[in-house]
Amino acid sequence: MTSCTPCAPVSPSLGSFASQLDVADALLALLRDTTTEPRPDTQLEALTLAVAADLPVLLWGEPGIGKTAALTQLAAALDLPLTTVIASVHEPSDFSGLPVVGDDPAEQGVPMAPPDWAVRLVRAGRGLLFLDELSTAPPAVQAALLRLVLERRIGALRLPPEVRIVAAANPRSSAADGWELGPPLANRFVHLQWTHDHEVVVRGLGGTWPRATLPRLAPERLPEAVDRARRAVCGLLTARPRLVHQLPSSESRRGGAWPSPRSWEMTLRLIAFATASQVSRDVLSLLVRGTVGDGPGLELLASLDRMDLPDPEELLADPAGAVLPERGDLRQAVLDGVVAAVRARPEKPRWDAAWALLVRALETGAPDLVVVPATTLASLRRGEWDVPAEIEQLAGVVTLSRRADEAAGRAAAATKVRR
């Protein structure tokens, strides 16, 4: 159970206040006085990595769960001036620019004047632009936001590269006069589902919030990160060309993450940043699925997992020193790959090494994972090959699995008869 640990601020003396309003202001200042602490937070890590990668992020969540507060803390932690723009209360011209007639329009044209908040951002040279209530902005305003989100242009002004863009929206069901996000605008964002964490809320109300920090990129990993990202994305799209562009059929899904050449480029960048900073797979999963959607994102994550699997030939060369994946699905894939390598080049030493690997898998993981590879490997035996001693250790597992399959088959047949 998490308990509040309030700060212990020093209270000023009562004689220093001129009025009750001054006392009220002092109390408000004490309530705003909070601190931060290092704390694992997957969604906050995903947000900061996308911000570091200079990609626009859209936080989806129900009203009142702290999206605005999270952005305020993020700006403070990154030392970026925060500029908040409520999209739904602005006109399209506030983002596309207002025409200003000069001395000679025929010669100079009519420039589009930017709003004051954009001018302040350019003067500061850096900042965090927070576009709030995006799902309550009408389609005309959403259309005007397209150039701002993608090209960072407002009228004749271009935002500096050091300005990051983050937006927030409520689902249409809980938004005031909400609209579905248009596909052109939706496809320009990394979509993150923002939820509240009970422990984070309790600690925050007690005066301590999670600390937002930019990911630490390892300079020596940058070339490897780019290569891995390109191989993963290009490999998947080569095998699955239909995933290059898939506009969803339903209006609601078009307002979220879906695959397009633009979102795949964003995904590639996120994988490179995630690899260079070695963030967790959970963080990468949020980012990838928030860019190209759940289906394509999960396929890409599976491809990345396969890329990280050990080479079957290296395992066969040194079965005693082999390190097998902990995750069951990845371990199964490795064992299947080893058996496939023996099938492609069946030799007695390789066959024996494969049995040694299966025994190692049996001793360090779930026994059922070796049943199919052991059965297949046994079928590859040549007549002159001696049966290795390791088979005795695996025979019981295979026999038990076969009995279980037979029992399941008899139960299924009995069920059909009763019907």
Chain centroid to CA 351: how far? 41
CB contact at 8 A, 371 and 348: no
- Exposure b/e, 52-62, CB count within 10 A at least 16 = b: bbebbbbbbbe
Distances (CA, A) of 52 to 20, 280, 300: 45, 16, 22
pLDDT score of 383: 81
What is the Rg, in whole angstroms, of the alpha carbon atoms belonging to the chain?
A: 29
Count the neighbouring beta carbons within 10 Å of the beta carbon of residue 299. 17
What is the sign, positive or negative, of the torsion defined by CA atoms of 323, 326, 330, 331?
positive
pLDDT score of 400: 45
**Pick from 95, 177, 74: nearest CA to 142:** 95
Q: How far apart are CA 149 and CA 167, in angstroms?
A: 10
**Residue 285 banded pLDDT, cuts 50, 70, 90:** very high
Chain centroid to CA 194: how far? 12
**Pick from 285, 343, 277, 233: nearest CA to 42:** 285
Distances (CA, A) of 295 to 56, 147, 261, 273, 322: 21, 28, 16, 22, 33
- Model confidence at 340: pLDDT above 60: yes
Interval 238-265: pLDDT, tens = 989 999 999 998 888 899 999 999 999 9
CB contact at 8 A, 252 and 186: no
What is the sign, positive or negative, of the torsion defined by CA atoms of 400, 406, 412, 418?
negative
Q: How far apart are CA 25 and CA 409, in angstroms?
A: 75
Interval 186-237: pLDDT, tens = 999 999 999 888 888 888 888 888 888 889 999 999 999 999 999 999 999 9
**CB-count exposure of residue 372 (10 Å: 0-12, 13-18, 19+):** middle
pTM as predicted: 0.77
Lowest-pLDDT range, 9-23, 226-240, 358-372? 9-23
Is 38-101+109-210 CATH 3.40.50.300?
yes
pLDDT score of 224: 94
Give SS3 for 409. helix
Distances (CA, A) of 126 to 53, 82, 132, 163: 15, 10, 19, 5
Interval 65-87: pLDDT, tens = 878 888 888 888 888 999 999 98
- Residue 249's contacts (CB-CB under 8 Å, 6 or more residues apart) are none
- Model confidence at 110: pLDDT above 60: yes
**Average predicted confidence (pLDDT) for the chain:** 84
**Residue 405 banded pLDDT, cuts 50, 70, 90:** very low
**Residue 54 banded pLDDT, cuts 50, 70, 90:** very high
pLDDT score of 228: 94
Two tokens at 76? 């403070």
